[in-house]
């Protein structure tokens, strides 16, 4: 049964309304970790729901109420794989405009255990099983972003909790952005502590850290996590190619048009492009304007 986070609807109706997001937490298998995440997100203006553990997540789970899926594997990393059809559903969720945030264990499992192979395509970090045990990390801003950096110093240190390893050395895939560098340097290159990219209409982030209890309770981490939730919950104004809503990402073609028309026919709120609560010619016209403008 789902554990619903403390409601913050009133807060979301205030000045930060556009920044509030509904976050699904794929359970860490650790109640104390899950509850700390809920508190951190709620305290920073979002809502949070703890869902199934990753290997119990199946295609019947309804993602429609959520803006972001936060996937852990830290307290239960020895278990089996997430069902392939469930991984595909989450991948489609991101390509349709949702956000995904991964903690370190998931990308480590891609490389070490060969699981999460479908979702690995969505990850902006290269698969890696090079890890270290260390009690703290210093993250340093690598790429400026008005959402991600808000309220944070250029460099900050936070404690790490060990789940038999606290950080994996990560490098970005092509077209991904390292927003924060780790203090872990190998062969003269700093690993990426926070790596993100656009995935069609959505956004995805990899953490290099396991995101355990004392890290979650750190004030700077809470701000960073909240900012990343806002960043992956992209808006039309923040999307350089808002008509790119279907794979292959970065290319506008029949599939994007077909996907929009399907949303429009279903009166999906995502198809109400002018935000007036109606589904009519003006929405279709606006989509065609975005489509004809192409991608940068």
Q: State the fold for domain 3-237.
A: Rossmann fold (3.40.50)
Show me where the domains of the chain are located: 3-237, 240-293
Decide: 171 and 128 in contact? Cβ < 8 Å: yes
Given this model, what pLDDT does residue 254 score? 87
Given this model, what pLDDT does residue 269 score? 75
Given this model, what pLDDT does residue 247 score? 66
Pairwise CA distance, residues 30 & 213, whole Å: 10
Strand order in the sheet with 22-27: 3-4, 47-53, 22-27, 68-71, 99-102, 202-207, 189-199, 177-186, 136-141, 155-159
Pairing of strands 189-199, 136-141: unpaired
Nearest to 252 by CA among 207, 205, 211, 293: 293
Given this model, what pLDDT does residue 206 score? 97
Given this model, what pLDDT does residue 23 score? 96
- pLDDT tens, residue by residue, 274-286: 889 899 999 999 9
| Backbone angle region of 144, left / alpha / beta, with phi > 0 → left and psi within -120 to 50 → alpha | beta
Backbone angles phi, psi at 114, to 5 degrees: 70, 20
- pLDDT tens, residue by residue, 187-205: 999 999 999 998 877 899 9
- pLDDT tens, residue by residue, 96-138: 788 999 999 899 989 998 889 889 888 999 999 999 999 999 9
Given this model, what pLDDT does residue 238 score? 58
Given this model, what pLDDT does residue 256 score? 85
User: How far are the Cα atoms of 35, 39, 189, 263, 270 from residue 266, in angstroms, in the given order?
Assistant: 35, 35, 48, 5, 10
**Count of C-beta atoms within a 10 Å radius of residue 291:** 19
> Which residues in the chain land under pLDDT 70?
1-19, 234-240, 247, 296
Pairwise CA distance, residues 130 & 182, whole Å: 14
Q: If you search the block for the tokens 């895939």, which residue do you land on?
A: 173
């Amino acid at each position: 049964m789902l554990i619903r986070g403390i409601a913050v609807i009133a807060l979301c109706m205030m000045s930060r309304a556009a920044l509030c997001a509904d976050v699904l937490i794929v359970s860490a298998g650790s109640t104390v970790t899950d509850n700390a995440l809920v508190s951190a997100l709620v305290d920073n203006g979002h809502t949070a729901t703890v869902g199934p553990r990753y290997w119990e997540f199946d295609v019947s789970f309804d993602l429609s109420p959520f803006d972001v899926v936060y996937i852990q594997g830290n307290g239960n990393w020895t278990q089996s794989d997430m069902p392939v059809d469930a991984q595909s559903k989450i991948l489609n969720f991101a390509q349709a405009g949702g956000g995904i945030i991964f903690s370190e264990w998931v990308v480590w499992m891609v490389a070490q255990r060969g699981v999460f192979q479908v979702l690995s395509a969505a990850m902006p970090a290269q698969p890696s099983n090079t890890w270290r045990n260390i009690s703290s990390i210093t993250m340093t801003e690598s790429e400026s972003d008005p959402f991600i950096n808000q309220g944070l110093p250029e460099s900050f240190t936070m404690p790490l909790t060990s789940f038999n390893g606290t950080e994996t050395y990560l490098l970005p895939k092509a077209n991904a952005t390292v927003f924060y560098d780790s203090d872990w340097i190998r062969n003269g290159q700093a690993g990426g502590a926070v790596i993100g990219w656009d995935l069609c209409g959505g956004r995805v982030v990899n953490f290099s850290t396991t995101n355990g209890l004392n890290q979650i309770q750190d004030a700077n981490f809470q701000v960073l996590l909240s900012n990343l939730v806002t960043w992956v919950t992209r808006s039309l104004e923040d999307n350089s190619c808002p008509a790119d809503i279907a794979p292959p990402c970065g290319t506008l073609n029949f599939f994007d048009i077909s996907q929009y028309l399907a949303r429009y026919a279903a009166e999906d709120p995502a198809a109400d492009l002018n935000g007036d609560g109606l589904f009519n010619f003006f929405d279709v016209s606006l989509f065609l304007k975005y489509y004809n403008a192409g991608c940068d």
